[in-house]
A and B are shown apart, each in its own frame.
Chain A
């Protein structure tokens, strides 16, 4: 049966055993083996040395790697929601609301407000969209939502309408 790469020849095994007993380090053993044309993969050599010594691999091998070469987990991103919102507010009106208001005799506009949170880019896009003429529905005039959710589906939170000036009431 042909030898596989993982197998170590008995000659090498004996040599390693002898060198370990003499107290040589793994590096020195490797050099000595290489000079005899018996060099093997370092990982396998270390396993063999451990077998002879009867020791277990170290529990936390990364400790021996300099910090700058250690694998680092990606930095945690800043949470998107920090409790701070950008408010877009003003009296608003929609075609549907005006129709109803004329019927009932209510003011033609209602106080409306979007409160967006999220990262700067999303908030900017959401505000631009609201500026463009999407206003909260009069049934739910105070909308607090993430800017990304609003961008994905603006008509879930508002409808086409206009931002208007406050009704000028003189008394």
Chain B
């Protein structure tokens, strides 16, 4: 039962928007409330089942990891991968993430900082990194540059 709702009052705290990377053909997973070991376990399992060539693991905050796989896939296959992991790992947050991706018809991963959380940093790489991972990292660099230039503009 909802006891107190702060957002419905007149108090609105301003914040900077979050920047992220969006596309339909890169397999991206947002694993929350999961240890690094489990994140790596799911990454290896998906890699083997769907033959995704390689992946990177990014740590977004404590016990939160992002996975990006190297092989480009169709949107249908992308949903299939995310759905498979969401069901097998019994992760409610990943199911929510899948739902959001279905609504938007594209999947997004955060790149820039969010509140007190820093921008996700790479903690592990495995296998091929020449296709989707390479493009993702290029875009990540671009987004980070844009974010820092926005901060400089705001400071001025």
**Residue contact B14 to A164, C-beta cutoff 8 Å:** yes
Residues from chain B with a CB closer than 8 A to the CB of A171 are 1-3
B-contacting 9-mer, from A65-73, A126-134, A149-157 = A126-134
Residues from chain B with a CB closer than 8 A to the CB of A124 are 142, 145-146, 149
Q: CA of A70 to CA of B17 in the docked complex: distance in angstroms? A: 52
**A128-B149, A128-B150, A171-B3 as given contacts; A89 in contact with B15, CB under 8 Å:** no
Taking a contact as CB atoms closer than 8 A, the residue among A84, A85, A88, A165 that contacts B15 in the complex is A165
**A128-B150, A171-B1, A171-B3 as given contacts; A165 in contact with B13, CB under 8 Å:** yes
Taking a contact as CB atoms closer than 8 A, the residue among A83, A105, A127, A142 that contacts B19 in the complex is A127
**A88-B18, A88-B19 as given contacts; A167 in contact with B139, CB under 8 Å:** no
Residues from chain A with a CB closer than 8 A to the CB of B12 are 93, 108-109, 162, 164-165
Which residues between 100 and 145 of chain A lie within 8 Å of chain B, taking CB atoms?
105, 107-109, 113, 115, 120, 123-124, 127-128, 130-131, 142
Whole-angstrom distance between the Cβ of A50 and the nearest chain B Cβ: 54
**Residue contact A86 to B15, C-beta cutoff 8 Å:** no
Decide yes or no whether A76 CB sits under 8 A from chain B.
Answer: no
Q: Mark B11-32, 1 if CB is under 8 A from A, else 0.
A: 0111111111111110000000
Q: CA of A162 to CA of B9 in the docked complex: distance in angstroms? A: 16
Decide yes or no whether A169 CB sits under 8 A from chain B.
Answer: yes
What are 13 pairs between A and B in contact, CB < 8 Å?
A84-B135, A86-B22, A87-B19, A89-B108, A92-B17, A107-B5, A113-B104, A127-B19, A164-B15, A165-B115, A167-B8, A170-B4, A171-B1
The 5 closest A-B pairs by CB, nearest first: A167-B7, A168-B6, A85-B22, A87-B20, A90-B17
Given contacts A108-B12, A124-B145, A169-B6, 16 further A-B contacts (CB under 8 A): A83-B23, A84-B135, A84-B139, A86-B19, A86-B21, A86-B146, A87-B20, A92-B17, A109-B7, A113-B104, A123-B142, A123-B146, A131-B16, A131-B153, A169-B2, A171-B1
